[in-house]
Chains A and B, each alone.
Chain A
Amino acid sequence: MKTVPPATFRHRHLLGIEGLSKEDLLLILDNAIGFKDVVTRTIKKVPTLRGKTVVNLFFENSTRTRTSFELAARRLSADVINFDVATSSVNKGEALLDTVETIEALGADYVVMRHGSSGAPHFLGKAVQASVINAGDGAHEHPTQALLDAFTVREALGDIAGRRIAIVGDILHSRVARSNILLFRKLGASVVLVGPPTLVPDRFRELDVETVHTLREGLTDADVIYLLRIQLERQRRNLFPSLEEYRMLYGLNARQLRHAPDHAIIMHPGPVNRGVEISREVMELPQTLITTQVTNGVAVRMAVFYVLQGAKAHEQNGHS
């Protein structure tokens, strides 16, 4: 395993899939292959980030994503701090800057941030020296999720170009969907969004994707069926009438799955509402890769730290 990071990545932060080139994406995905070897062998540690400090700054709770980042950083030998954030301040932007100034004063090299407001990492990125990694901002982007999803698709199906990805559910409020749309389009796949018009408005076509409103149409010819978590909060806002109706129209069960090609794989960013987005029986199928996604998450996040470290080293050597 090589430990000198590549110098071809030119971004200080990872704020979103937007702004990354196809080459940037492939660089991360290719490096993740090596890191997957690291995380599956007996001694799961490399010294890439030795002496570096990674701060997890989560303004929204997410044990899963935070743990994945924490593990990735530790396996690269970084010191990891999980910072508790109080969000009671009158000005959330100011509170954010205060927190980060504190963190920088403590010498953080990386800030992994999740925030409920779209664009918050971009706001932060302009103000700090540390590299900011977006771990989810509002309904905007969740780039490492999209990267781990792409990694999983590559592992299962090979090349992404020419594949057809069906994303099912609450696209309107989903940062996972936005990042995945951008990433899969950049890598040459076609994307079809599936859901009711309240959650999948046809305006999404302006992002160069298809939209359909029945699951059956979405499943036809899909190589990847990507199910999103549906949130009860949307029902309260009348975006769909009930979980029962959602399950009936968009839940994936064995009967619906027959409309998809046999080789199609099934993914979900978690946590899953079992029996709503996906039936228990489909959960058990070998082509359902939800736990593989979680495993791959660590490897992909290691690759993200790795290429960012490469960009930093490059910058410090005065090349930029």
Chain B
Amino acid sequence: MSRTVIRNGTIVDPSQGLHGRMDMALRNGVVEDIAPEVRPESGDKVFDVQGLYIAPGFIDLHTHLREPGGESAETIESGCRAAAAGGFTTIYCMPNTRPVCDTETGVHYVVSRAARAGCVRVIPVAAVTKGQQGEEITNMGRLQRAGAGAFSDDGYPVMNAEIMRRALEYTSMIGVPVMEHCEDANLSGSGAVHEGAVSLKLGLRGIPRVSESTMVSRNVALAAATGGHIHICHVSARESVEAIREAKRNGVHVTAEVTPHHLTMTDKDVLGYNVNAKMKPPLCEEEDREALIAALEDGTIDCIATDHAPHSANAKDNVFDEAPFGIIGMESAFPLLFTEFVLPGRWPLEFLVEKLTVAPAAVVNRPWGTLQPGSPADMAILQLGQPYTFERRHLHSRSSNCPWLGRTMKGRVAMTLVGGLPVYESPDLYGKPQPVEKPGRKSTSTKTPKRKTGKSNKATTR
């Protein structure tokens, strides 16, 4: 089997503490070697990616692919393409489809559809309770053997504490997390946005912070009592952060994720009845946003997950009360967070990459998110610094419920590889990776037409 050599990239792999210009050799879909110089041999395919960055493929623990039952919004295939366009090579998909993914057949369906899409790796999350009804736990052992990577009733909270207790107790034997959407359905009621000055002003029904934080507190207490692993989905409120911090201090097996939108937006984004700022949990206030950023930085929150939630324009383009909750996020996650946090200097690039790679892998206790020799050659090749307008054409989802369309982004995914094979290539890449005809020859990428015409060439990046 032939070897592929990727030369002159800047490899950013927090799992090995790498950040520097290196060459990489791939064989049989696996990373064979990373070294300051890998000499191409006859028969090698050689790519020169000078000026580009290489990170392990991103891992998203929280997506909704809508299939089966919601194909007008997304399919497993379109969701996979959206993931690839965002640099994600492994995604977990939530079970709130129609029917709910609560049987081995349902798990097999997702796995086989994803295999047919032949794009990124898809790990189904199966339901905690049958039909997500919150009454009877699913056949968790069998579901895990069928391929389920976690359990969640996402979209609905498990309101009955006894059921959650049993689910955590039972899964402690299997060693996979229960991923919980923490929301007290009674406290949320028919609320549409965070309860605060904005909800008062707009006359929208509010969801109080305690709707999330009381359930976080309950769930970490149950995890402490059972020894189960609770993963808190999409943390939004500062009180929830405190509850997680306290539980971690006490040695509870709790992990948590935060979404790009909760890191970058607040309830003020709802003003004007912006339906693309309507999601659950709702966007809270600036203090909450700052608490979430600090929690990600100090490790209280483990990783970033998008909660990619496609809704067709027919459903989402609606009066605010009627519009469904949720926005898509896989294509925009890296460009947005790079632009908002790395460029201004708040985070080193390694930090962002870590929270998208080894950190989520650690949550599910898998040896992923790394380019160590022997690992699958799953990677995101990134172009940093060139400004461009994020538009509908950058979305590969069937839906476009994205609040960042029209935003200037300064980082993009140039190419995504899964098992050494390209699954995404940016169509308007400036300085795209060029195959080199003869081994050892210097890159000719400066002569490509794209470079000549790229007006971004002259643009300043900061």
* Chain A residues engaging chain B, CB cutoff 8 angstroms: 91-94, 96, 115-120, 122-123, 137-141, 172, 175, 178, 201, 203-204, 206-207
Q: Which residues of B contact A96 (CB under 8 A)?
A: 319
Q: Which residues of A contact B204 (CB under 8 A)?
A: 118-119, 138-140
- B273 CB within 8 Å of chain A: yes
Q: Which residues of A contact B202 (CB under 8 A)?
A: 118-119, 140
Establish whether residues B203 and A94, one from each chain, have CB atoms under 8 Å apart when the complex forms: no
Establish whether residues B203 and A115, one from each chain, have CB atoms under 8 Å apart when the complex forms: no
Q: Which residues of B contact A118 (CB under 8 A)?
A: 202-204, 273, 320-321
CA distance A215 to B90 in the complex (A): 60
Establish whether residues B200 and A91, one from each chain, have CB atoms under 8 Å apart when the complex forms: no
Interchain CB contact (< 8 A) of A207 among B197, B319, B322: B197
Establish whether residues B322 and A91, one from each chain, have CB atoms under 8 Å apart when the complex forms: yes
Establish whether residues B322 and A92, one from each chain, have CB atoms under 8 Å apart when the complex forms: yes
Q: Which residues of B contact A140 (CB under 8 A)?
A: 202-204
Q: Which residues of B contact A123 (CB under 8 A)?
A: 273, 318-320
Looking at the assembled complex, report how far the CB atom of A169 sits from the nearest CB atom of chain B, in whole angstroms: 15
Interchain CB contact (< 8 A) of B273 among A116, A122, A139, A207: A122
Establish whether residues B319 and A139, one from each chain, have CB atoms under 8 Å apart when the complex forms: no
What would 10 more interface pairs be, CB under 8 Å, given A91-B315, A206-B197?
Answer: A92-B319, A93-B323, A94-B314, A94-B318, A120-B319, A138-B204, A139-B205, A140-B204, A172-B200, A204-B200
Q: Which residues of B contact A207 (CB under 8 A)?
A: 197, 200-201
Looking at the assembled complex, report how far the CB atom of B195 sits from the nearest CB atom of chain A, in whole angstroms: 8
CA distance A92 to B314 in the complex (A): 11
Can you pick out 29 interface pairs between chain A and chain B where the beta carbons lie within 8 Å of each other? A91-B314, A92-B318, A93-B323, A94-B318, A96-B319, A115-B319, A116-B321, A118-B203, A118-B204, A118-B273, A118-B320, A119-B273, A119-B319, A119-B321, A122-B272, A122-B273, A123-B319, A123-B320, A138-B204, A138-B321, A139-B203, A140-B204, A172-B200, A178-B203, A201-B200, A203-B195, A203-B197, A207-B200, A207-B201
Establish whether residues A175 and B203, one from each chain, have CB atoms under 8 Å apart when the complex forms: yes
**CB-CB nearest in chain B for A173:** B203
- B317 CB within 8 Å of chain A: yes
Looking at the assembled complex, report how far the CB atom of B250 sits from the nearest CB atom of chain A, in whole angstroms: 33
- B155 CB within 8 Å of chain A: no
CA distance A140 to B198 in the complex (A): 11
Establish whether residues A117 and B200, one from each chain, have CB atoms under 8 Å apart when the complex forms: no
Establish whether residues B322 and A119, one from each chain, have CB atoms under 8 Å apart when the complex forms: no
Interface size on B, residues (CB 8 A): 20
Establish whether residues B203 and A141, one from each chain, have CB atoms under 8 Å apart when the complex forms: yes
Interchain CB contact (< 8 A) of B318 among A93, A178, A204: A93
Establish whether residues B196 and A117, one from each chain, have CB atoms under 8 Å apart when the complex forms: no
**CB-CB nearest in chain B for A178:** B203
Interface centre among B195, B200, B317, B323 (most CB of A within 10 A): B200
Q: Which residues of A contact B317 (CB under 8 A)?
A: 93
**CB-CB nearest in chain A for B270:** A119
**CB-CB nearest in chain A for B195:** A203
Establish whether residues B197 and A137, one from each chain, have CB atoms under 8 Å apart when the complex forms: no
Give residues of chain B (359-406) contacting chain A, Cβ–Cβ below 8 Å: none
Q: B54-84 CB contact bits vs A (8 Å, 1 = yes)?
A: 0000000000000000000000000000000
Q: Which residues of B contact A139 (CB under 8 A)?
A: 203-205
Q: Which residues of B contact A119 (CB under 8 A)?
A: 202, 204, 273, 319-321
CA distance A277 to B439 in the complex (A): 88
Give residues of chain B (101-150) contacting chain A, Cβ–Cβ below 8 Å: none
**CB-CB nearest in chain B for A140:** B203
CA distance A91 to B275 in the complex (A): 14
CA distance A178 to B197 in the complex (A): 12
Establish whether residues A203 and B196, one from each chain, have CB atoms under 8 Å apart when the complex forms: yes
Interface centre among A94, A116, A117, A201 (most CB of B within 10 A): A117
CA distance A3 to B203 in the complex (A): 37
Interface centre among B272, B318, B319, B323 (most CB of A within 10 A): B319
CA distance A206 to B321 in the complex (A): 23
Q: Which residues of B contact A138 (CB under 8 A)?
A: 203-204, 321
Looking at the assembled complex, report how far the CB atom of A180 sits from the nearest CB atom of chain B, in whole angstroms: 13
CA distance A94 to B204 in the complex (A): 20
Looking at the assembled complex, report how far the CB atom of A110 sits from the nearest CB atom of chain B, in whole angstroms: 20
Given A138-B203, A138-B204, A139-B204: A117 and B319 interface contact (C-beta under 8 Å): yes
Q: Which residues of B contact A201 (CB under 8 A)?
A: 200
CA distance A292 to B196 in the complex (A): 36
CA distance A178 to B273 in the complex (A): 16
CA distance A120 to B315 in the complex (A): 15
Interchain CB contact (< 8 A) of A93 among B195, B196, B200, B322: B322
**CB-CB nearest in chain B for A182:** B201
Q: B186-201 CB contact bits vs A (8 Å, 1 = yes)?
A: 0000000001110011
Q: Which residues of A contact B197 (CB under 8 A)?
A: 203, 206-207
CA distance A123 to B278 in the complex (A): 15
**CB-CB nearest in chain A for B192:** A118
Looking at the assembled complex, report how far the CB atom of A95 sits from the nearest CB atom of chain B, in whole angstroms: 10
Q: Which residues of A contact B201 (CB under 8 A)?
A: 178, 207
Q: Which residues of B contact A120 (CB under 8 A)?
A: 319
Establish whether residues B322 and A203, one from each chain, have CB atoms under 8 Å apart when the complex forms: no
CA distance A5 to B435 in the complex (A): 70
CA distance A140 to B320 in the complex (A): 12
Q: Which residues of B contact A175 (CB under 8 A)?
A: 203
Q: B256-284 CB contact bits vs A (8 Å, 1 = yes)?
A: 00000000000000001100000000000
Q: Which residues of B contact A94 (CB under 8 A)?
A: 314, 318
Q: Which residues of A contact B195 (CB under 8 A)?
A: 203
CA distance A175 to B203 in the complex (A): 7
CA distance A115 to B200 in the complex (A): 18
* Shortest 5 CB-CB contacts between residues of A and residues of B: A93-B318, A140-B203, A119-B273, A139-B203, A117-B321
Give residues of chain B (302-329) contacting chain A, Cβ–Cβ below 8 Å: 314-315, 317-323
CA distance A82 to B201 in the complex (A): 30
CA distance A144 to B196 in the complex (A): 26
CA distance A203 to B319 in the complex (A): 25
Q: Which residues of A contact B318 (CB under 8 A)?
A: 91-94, 123
Looking at the assembled complex, report how far the CB atom of B248 sits from the nearest CB atom of chain A, in whole angstroms: 31
Q: Which residues of A contact B314 (CB under 8 A)?
A: 91, 94
CA distance A93 to B203 in the complex (A): 18
